[in-house]
């Protein structure tokens, strides 16, 4: 299965005969495998008489051998398909695997977003990545952790060339007010003592605008940079950056990264609406405190808000 998709990944036409010869199977077997591939991945495979088969557009597939060699910070498991890379991290933890460890996949069938939302995860297009870490002094280390992760992902995205991307509190990455990346932290154990955190990161990498299931403005690196992004390179950079920022976070806490976070805060000093259940609070965003709490100026008084079941909007925007 993997080798057939690898052959088609260049987005060019390949005849049934050529595919059959390369994989050493009959043309009828190729046709069967193509149907299964279409079914498993939801990728559209075009068939043109006299030319052969091709994908809609080229894919940058994950190369597990290369990733295994180049990601040295922690072991990484590369899967073709999984319900959710976050869920898989918890499963591996339950089988006794030690943290840290990372999981990535070509496709998620039940990708999880914040506030119970679904995270749209088509095959071969984006980055679906989770890192399991263990924390000894849970509650202290958890302070601002999701903001630290946002910063690590932002650094990676800038390294890939999208230098105008920025942060939206607590941990979204936006470009031109469109979502580029989402982060979901899930915890198990005692947050006041020893616990494990799964850091789930979804980056829109090569996703075409044709995807319609996403109910908020979004963009992808490919759309903004105008070129197919090498997802292996992105993943190698991401692991490097996560390890760099996590080290600072473990040693000095989020406070050591607060200034850098604020420099990259897209809505610094802007008027924002904070939604807390049915309640809407409007204030000027002054930044964040040492624990990553949002600092708003409301009627000349500074108030602090923790991430959780709150969401932030620009006062002039209709989307979160």
Interface residue list for ligand BTN (CB under 6 A): 84-86, 108, 111-114, 117, 119, 128-130, 172, 182-184, 200-202
What is the spatial distance between Cα 192 and Cα 106, in angstroms, rounded to a whole number? 35
Burial (CB count <10 Å: 0-12, 13-18, 19+), residue 177: middle
Angle separating helix axes 16-23 and 27-41, nearest 10 degrees: 90
What is the spatial distance between Cα 218 and Cα 306, in angstroms, rounded to a whole number? 25
Is the CB of 303 or the CB of 311 nearer to ligand BTN? 311
Nearest residue to ligand BTN by CB is 182
Which residues are registered as beta bridge partners of 301?
Answer: 298
Calculate the alpha carbon distances from 65 to 71, 80, 178, 214 in Å. 10, 13, 33, 32
Q: Which of 33, 179, 231, 258 is catalytic?
A: 179
What is the spatial distance between Cα 214 and Cα 64, in angstroms, rounded to a whole number? 29
What is the spatial distance between Cα 106 and Cα 62, in angstroms, rounded to a whole number? 7
Calculate the alpha carbon distances from 43 to 8, 127, 144, 213, 229 in Å. 11, 16, 38, 16, 18
- Listing from the earlier edge strand, what are the strands of the sheet with 301-305? 301-305, 294-298, 279-288, 271-276, 310-314
Based on the residue annotation, tell me whether 313 is a catalytic residue of this protein: yes
Based on the residue annotation, tell me whether 114 is a catalytic residue of this protein: yes
Query: Which residue carries 């080798």 as its tokens?
Result: 3
On whether the CB atoms of residues 101 and 75 are closer than 8 A, the answer is yes
Based on the residue annotation, tell me whether 117 is a catalytic residue of this protein: no
What is the spatial distance between Cα 316 and Cα 319, in angstroms, rounded to a whole number? 9
6: helix, strand or coil? helix
Q: What DSSP string runs through 118-178?
A: B----TTTSEEEEEEEEESSHHHHHTTHHHHHHHHHHHHHHHTT-TT-EEETTTEEEETTE
Residues acting as catalytic residues: 114, 179, 313
């Amino acid at each position: 299965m993997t080798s057939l998709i690898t052959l088609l990944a260049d987005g060019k036409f390949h005849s049934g005969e050529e595919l059959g010869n390369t994989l050493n199977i009959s043309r009828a077997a190729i046709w069967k495998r193509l149907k299964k591939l279409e079914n498993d991945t939801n990728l559209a495979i075009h068939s043109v008489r006299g030319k052969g088969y091709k994908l809609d557009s080229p894919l940058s597939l994950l190369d597990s051998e290369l990733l295994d060699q180049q990601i040295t910070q922690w072991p990484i498991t590369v899967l073709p398909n999984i319900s959710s890379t976050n869920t898989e991290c918890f499963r591996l933890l339950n089988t006794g695997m030690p943290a840290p460890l990372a999981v990535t996949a070509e496709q998620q069938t039940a990708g999880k977003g914040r506030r119970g939302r679904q995270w749209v995860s088509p095959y071969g297009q984006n980055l679906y990545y989770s890192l399991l870490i263990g924390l000894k002094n849970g509650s202290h280390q958890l302070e601002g952790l999701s903001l630290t992760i946002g910063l690590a992902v932002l650094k990676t995205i800038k390294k890939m060339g999208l230098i105008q991307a920025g942060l939206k509190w607590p941990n979204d990455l936006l470009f031109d007010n469109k979502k580029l990346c989402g982060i979901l932290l899930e915890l198990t154990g005692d947050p006041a003592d020893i616990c494990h955190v799964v850091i789930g990161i979804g980056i829109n990498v090569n996703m075409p605008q044709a995807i319609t299931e996403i109910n908020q403005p979004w963009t992808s690196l490919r759309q903004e940079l105008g070129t197919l992004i090498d997802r292996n390179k992105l993943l190698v950079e991401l692991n490097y950056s996560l390890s760099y920022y996590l080290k600072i976070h473990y040693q000095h806490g989020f406070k050591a990264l607060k200034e850098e976070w604020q420099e990259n805060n897209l809505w610094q000093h802007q008027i924002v609406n904070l939604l807390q259940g049915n309640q809407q609070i409007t204030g000027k965003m002054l930044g964040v405190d040492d624990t990553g709490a949002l600092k708003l100026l409301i009627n000349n008084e500074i108030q602090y808000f923790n991430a959780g079941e709150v969401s932030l909007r620009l006062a002039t925007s209709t989307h979160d």
